A and B are shown apart, each in its own frame.
Chain A
Amino acid sequence: MKKAIVSVFARDARGITAYVTALLADRDINILDISQTLMQEYFAMIMLVDLEACPLPFHELSNWLKEQGEKRALDIHIQREDIFEAMHRI
């Protein structure tokens, strides 16, 4: 399994989750865990995903998600999970 964290930030609107999960499905990315919150009118969603079946190299996927996000004024990042593990676990 090749795990990564996808984070999405935007002003809240209808259909953000649907839009982003469709993007991920389109690239054969499986969602393992998902959490979303509203901070005032701000939307924040975090997903743990598996990239095993994703055909794109990491940097292309990262650029593609960023571009697709910008179309809907979403700030989409993807990062390898190791960085969170390193910072927050001993």
Chain B
Amino acid sequence: MSYLMNSSEILQTIRMIDQQHLDVRTVTMGISLLDCAADTTARCAEKVYDKICRMAERLVPECKMIEQEYGIPIVNKRVSVTPVSLVTASCAEEDFSPIALAMDRAADAVGINFIGGFSALAQKGFTESDRKLVLSIPEALAATKLVCSSVNVGSTRAGINMDAVLLCGKIIRETAEKSDMGCAKLVIFCNAVEDNPFMAGAFHGVGEPECVINVGVSGPGVVAEALKSCRGERIDVVAETIKRTAFKITRMGQLVAQEASRRLGVPFGVVDLSLAPTPAIGDSVAEILELIGLERCGTHGTTAALALLNDAVKKGGVMASSHVGGLSGAFIPVSEDAGMIRAAGEGVLTLDKLEAMTCVCSVGLDMIAVPGDTTAETLSAIIADEAAIGMINNKTTAVRLIPAIGKKVGDRVDFGGLLGSAPVMPVHGESAAEFVSRGGRIPAPLHSLRN
């Protein structure tokens, strides 16, 4: 079928790309490493390096061709791999960071900008390999540039592994002490998904094929622009406008996903329907919430406005793609969103409000700088709260907190690039140490019994 030229539609698309930051946020190739198991980390690392280089060799050049032919920027080209603790189960050594180093070298060799999957799935308990991997995270993230790590500590089906929650609080602190950027590459999940293309939480689940292409779309700026024409309208009109815009954004993502899949000869997995902000002005989820009618993101009404936004994005996007998956929802990473940074800096947006917002949107407490003296137990308690929201509500939740070593509330932390900058936000001073130190498992909720 041929396109009948319609100038206003063409101009609209060009304006979306040129002025409203419309882009494909990421094309992520998922690669299974299950065949890279070996007796030693050295041998395993060698196999991991070879396999990633072999499978992802053409990813970046093909994506660049697509960018040029369609005139649509593909901001990130990335790789996700099988959770490494599954691959290293036979390795005798305690330290698994050599695998992370191999992943980092492979990522550099193929020219991608992040590789995810230095991960463990420990929602019900640790295998020896899971435990060793989690203990290797601080060193692995300090010694690498491009490796991202995640730990799944709970699920609706399994409950919450409080031993893992406790350990992850310590690991976050240790990671922060070892490197400035490490914590920006570490996510603690509940109900982690197997086909998420977004970092830092991407990994290639065991139910996935050998190799797959997943695409994450974006476009907060496009939604914001569309909402400028809705001033004074009823809220139904707002929801409808977001749906229509999300449909267009997602169709573009679907086209890019199919094209990347065809050129690389790798099956297409999913399009992740997400609104992923960047620190650029006009590319902010907070700005959308403010256009819906809030004086400042974080004030009363924010949760309701975000719920509407999140739902409308999914409704618009789902018809535009043949397979939808991943995290699919609006992201609210504080440091990566100019509007959130402003609201947090003014003290309007607080950690408690952000926690409430995570009940109705994609993922969770994301890219939030907390004071450098925040204890490991407090970090664990924050993780437990988020995991509980995910477990009870059958959704993915995550925590990506950055203890800003040597800094206090009101100071600023700069991560650079897409990771942005964040004001250090206050946490509650009262201790939850007794609670998180109990260990054990929070039992799975009643509604996990669905059969």
Contact = CB atoms under 8 A, between A and B. Distances in A.
A35 B7 contact: yes
A79 B5 contact: no
B10 A46 contact: yes
A89 B14 CA distance: 16
Contacts of A77: 14, 71
B444 interface: no
B248 A87 contact: yes
A37 interface: yes
Question: Which of A44, A58, A84 has the most B CB atoms < 10 Å from its CB?
Answer: A84
B412 to A, nearest CB: 37
Interface string B1-20: 11101110111111000000
B70 A82 contact: yes
Contacts of A58: 65, 68-69
B69 A7 contact: no
B11 A46 contact: yes
B13 A87 contact: yes
Nearest to B249: A87
B312 to A, nearest CB: 18
Contacts of B5: 5, 32-33, 35, 46, 48
Interface stretch (B35-43, B75-83, B251-259, B357-365): B251-259
Nearest to B248: A87
Contacts of B9: 84, 87-88
B121 interface: no
A85 B259 CA distance: 14
B71 A3 contact: no
B72 interface: yes
Given A87-B248, A88-B248, A79 B7 contact: no
A58 B12 CA distance: 23
Contacts of B254: 86
A27 interface: no
B257 to A, nearest CB: 11
Contacts of B72: 79, 83
Given A5-B10, A7-B14, A77-B14, A85 B69 contact: no
A56 to B, nearest CB: 13
A71 interface: no
Interface in B63-96: 65, 68-72
A11 interface: no
A81 B71 CA distance: 10
Contact of A87 (B11, B68, B69, B251): B251
Contact of A84 (B13, B65, B68, B69): B13
Contacts of B69: 58-59, 62, 79-80
Contacts of B70: 79-80, 82-83
Interface string A25-64: 0000000110101000000101010000000001100100
Nearest to A47: B5
A83 B68 contact: no
A59 B69 CA distance: 7
B389 to A, nearest CB: 35
Contact of A85 (B3, B14, B65, B71): B3
Given A3-B2, A59-B65, A83 B13 contact: yes
A60 B209 CA distance: 35
Interface string A57-75: 0110010000000000000
A46 B7 contact: yes
A83 B252 contact: yes
Nearest to A63: B68
Contacts of B68: 58-59, 62
B71 A79 contact: yes
A57 to B, nearest CB: 9
A24 to B, nearest CB: 15
Q: Which of B3, B12, B14, B254 has the most CB of A within 10 A?
A: B3
Contact of A86 (B11, B14, B65, B255): B255
B90 to A, nearest CB: 45
A3 B2 CA distance: 8
Closest 4 pairs between A and B when the two form their complex, measured CB to CB: A79-B71, A85-B3, A86-B255, A88-B9
12 contacts: A46-B5, A59-B65, A59-B69, A79-B71, A79-B72, A81-B2, A82-B255, A83-B13, A83-B71, A84-B13, A86-B255, A87-B248
Given A77-B71, A87-B9, 6 more contacts: A3-B3, A37-B7, A44-B11, A58-B69, A83-B252, A88-B6
Interface of B: 1-3, 5-7, 9-14, 65, 68-72, 248, 251-252, 254-255
